[in-house]
Amino acid sequence: MKISIGADHGGYRLKDILVPFIESLGHEVTDVGCSCDQSVDYPDYALPVCEAVASGQADRGILICGTGIGMSIAANKVRGIRCALVHDMFSAQATRDHNDTNVLAMGERVVGPGVAQEIIRIWLETPFSNGERHVGRISKVNEIEAKYAAKA
């Protein structure tokens, strides 16, 4: 898979650990930054990751900030993005199986590298179940997105 990854100053250290890990799993990674601890704005890194996923240039996206909250909020403003904030293995599996998420957000100040690696491994390996109830729910979410995008 092609994975686009981005982080702000609160998540770049974890991102820098995760990029080689993701590559070791056989995926191609595009790192959009940042690579410093000077204060930057998380939307500036969430947007290029989500645009790459929404356009099909990347199959999935991963976003990291201090808590993952800001990144997930910004990500979910992009049409076609289903981003989940995940800090445990069960949620990593469920968000793919039930919600067909295409972007994962995590917080460097919340999870350590080992847990983050396991979350990513599970999230990348878990397919969407295509269960009828889940497809229907995602359809409803897409309808909400379309309704409010039209008003913007």
Residues identified as active-site: 65, 98
Length of the chain (residues): 152
Residue among 136, 96, 141 at smallest CA distance from 120: 96
Give the tokens for residue 149: 């995008």
Give the tokens for residue 11: 């998540």
CB 32, CB 89: distance < 8 Å: no
* 104 DSSP β-pair partners: 62, 84
If one counts every other C-beta atom within 10 angstroms of the C-beta of residue 89, the result is: 14
Q: 3-state DSSP: the chain helix, strand, coil percent, rounded to 5? A: 50, 15, 35
